Amino acid sequence: MKKSILRSVGLALSLALVTGGLVGCKSNDTKETVTKAENGAVVKPTIIKMTTDTFLKPEDGMDEFLAGFKKQTGMELKVTQPVHNQYYDKLSLQFASGDVPDVVEIASTYLTTFGSNGALWDMTDTISKSKVLKDIDPKYSDSIKVNDKSFAYPIQTGGNGKKTIIPVSAAGVINTEVPYSIYLREFYQDAIPNFTQVDGKWVDGMSQPNMKLALERISTAYADGLIDKEIVTNKTSSVRDKFYAGKIGAFTYWQEIGIELLNKTYKKLYQVEKLLQCLQ
């Protein structure tokens, strides 16, 4: 897992030098992060300030990575990593206070807001000319454009995806008498609750024939008590609490950071070595 993270981070930081990284932020040049010499030639910054959510954790070797990055590039990488559930509050405060980082990690939900408000650097032209990205299918960068402009670049197509988690008791037994909660991906199956492509055309997945069958499955499961009655109002934190208390039998969660957190907490509570993971 660590190797895959390092590969993703390595690409992200290569982009930070060449195309602005995960997200290039619009800010005034400082003595620390000069990007162009007076003659117009691109020069290497001495420091890159990065605010991120899912970057390496200290226990996964962050210090070693930062030291290695500086040794290989001659640049210092300053990482700000807020607590996960406070990430976007802290990021918004950075922008509001003027303490804008050079590179940030941002989810597509927030990318539209930040990009539309002019807070991010338009890297469309730079991406198209990048030697780092020339062999990568442009569909990946095109998929997250905002108003036909690239304000970010996706650093991975998997990695920290979602898995359905089923808790195991101290005796190693799966509890099948408590409901499922959050996301409902197993009930949707081949239906897509979003815009999707059918025969080369973009359509509303909610209006497709297979969605009717998916909604019937969900309705039946909800009526039978197989789905948590509070699924619509649940927050991720409340689902975790229900999971720890044995009130839900399965839910979908992030497979790397999320599962690591659940494993640690669940092991302390029930002396279970690990959770059963399935349906990636």
| DSSP-derived secondary structure for 185-205 | HHHHTT--SSEEEETTEEEEG
pTM of the shown model: 0.56
Quick check: 15 pLDDT over 70?
no
Integer CA distances (angstroms), 123 to 99, 103, 184, in order: 21, 12, 36
In the sheet where 76-80 sits, what is the strand order? 76-80, 47-51, 103-104
pLDDT of residue 22: 55
Quick check: 6 pLDDT over 50?
no
Write the burial class of residue 109 (CB in 10 Å: 0-12 exposed, 13-18 middle, 19+ buried): exposed
**Taking residues 253-270, what's their average pLDDT?**
73
Question: Which range has the worst mean pLDDT, 111-120, 151-160, 240-249?
Answer: 151-160
pLDDT of residue 213: 92
pLDDT of residue 61: 83
pLDDT of residue 99: 87
More confident residue, 92 or 21: 92
Write the burial class of residue 143 (CB in 10 Å: 0-12 exposed, 13-18 middle, 19+ buried): exposed
At 8 the three-state DSSP class reads helix
Rounded to whole angstroms, the Cα distance separating 24 from 198 reads 33
Contact 259, 277 (CB under 8 A): yes
Question: Which range has the worst mean pLDDT, 80-84, 164-168, 245-249?
Answer: 164-168
User: Average pLDDT of the chain?
Assistant: 74
Contact 16, 48 (CB under 8 A): yes
Dump pLDDT digits (tens) for 32-75.
444 444 555 667 789 999 998 877 777 778 889 899 989 988 99
Rounded to whole angstroms, the Cα distance separating 182 from 158 reads 20
Question: Which range has the worst mean pLDDT, 12-26, 90-104, 162-176?
Answer: 12-26
Residue 76 — very low, low, confident or very high, per pLDDT cuts 50/70/90? very high
Quick check: 106 pLDDT over 70?
yes
Question: Which range has the worst mean pLDDT, 77-91, 169-183, 219-233?
Answer: 169-183
Buried b (16+ CB within 10 A) or exposed e, 74-96: ebebebebbeeeebbeebeebbe
Write the burial class of residue 261 (CB in 10 Å: 0-12 exposed, 13-18 middle, 19+ buried): middle
User: Sign of dihedral through CA atoms 68, 69, 71, 77?
Assistant: negative
**Taking residues 192-196, what's their average pLDDT?**
84
Write the burial class of residue 20 (CB in 10 Å: 0-12 exposed, 13-18 middle, 19+ buried): buried
pLDDT of residue 77: 92
Rounded to whole angstroms, the Cα distance separating 251 from 166 reads 7
Rounded to whole angstroms, the Cα distance separating 138 from 62 reads 30
Dump pLDDT digits (tens) for 127-177.
888 887 888 888 878 888 888 888 888 765 444 555 555 655 444 444 555
pLDDT of residue 47: 92
